[in-house]
Amino acid sequence: MTVQNAQDTSEFWLYGYGQDHRGTPEAPGRVVTLIERSYWEQLKDKDGHASAPDRVWGVAYRIIPEKVAEVKEYLDIREINGYSIHYAPFQPADGSPSINTLVYIGTPENDQFVGPQDPQELAEHIARSQGPSGPNIDYLLNLEEALNELAPDSGDVHIHDLARRVRELQISGKVTHLNPTPTTHQQKHSTEEAEEIEDPSP
């Protein structure tokens, strides 16, 4: 991904691809992050993803002007640990012109950055982690569901493999939390409507 700086304007868009708070200091959760390609090229397992495109699927949220300061303050508290703030182009699904969005990008030199891990060890870690925002399993399985619904062409083999491993741990009885909190994901196809709606089931 190519990142660029931009001046703040009243038209504020936030790019969302994950959330934190899925673990504790003793058992920190694992969540996805974006990194710059220059960092990715230094990872020891990059050859296993040599065909990875310079793009990622997610949702752009339009923040109304009167809420921009409040939202930025909240996100800086929640996301700033291990992230740097950038502006990057977002391409709507309907092919309309790209929009400039604020995005938090991971910094590998930070202590919170884990890097490549053995898939089975990672799945077991996710299975036993839980934090203020809920079980780490919920995060993973809801992420897989969102990718299937919002970006069926994403081809994210890693996420699907991790979800499969976690489900196998559930079946084996090694995990007591069996089902993710159900959500409904809805894709909008224009910059006027671009948002993700998550409605907890009653």
pLDDT beyond 50 at 1: no
> What is the average pLDDT score of the chain?
72
Tens digits of residue pLDDT in 62-111:
888 999 889 888 877 766 666 778 888 898 888 899 999 988 887 777 77
109 catalytic residue (yes or no): no
Catalytic position from the list 11, 41, 70, 79: 79
Alpha helices by DSSP H, 18-156: 37-40, 68-79, 119-128, 136-150
What tens digit of pLDDT does each residue of 104-141 get? 887 777 777 777 888 999 999 899 888 777 888 998 99
Give the DSSP H/E element, type plus range, for residue 89.
Answer: strand 83-90
- pTM of the predicted model as reported, rounded to 2 decimal places: 0.66
φ, ψ of residue 79 to 5 degrees: the values are: -110, -15
Phi-psi region of 61 (alpha: psi -120 to 50; beta: other; left: phi over 0): beta
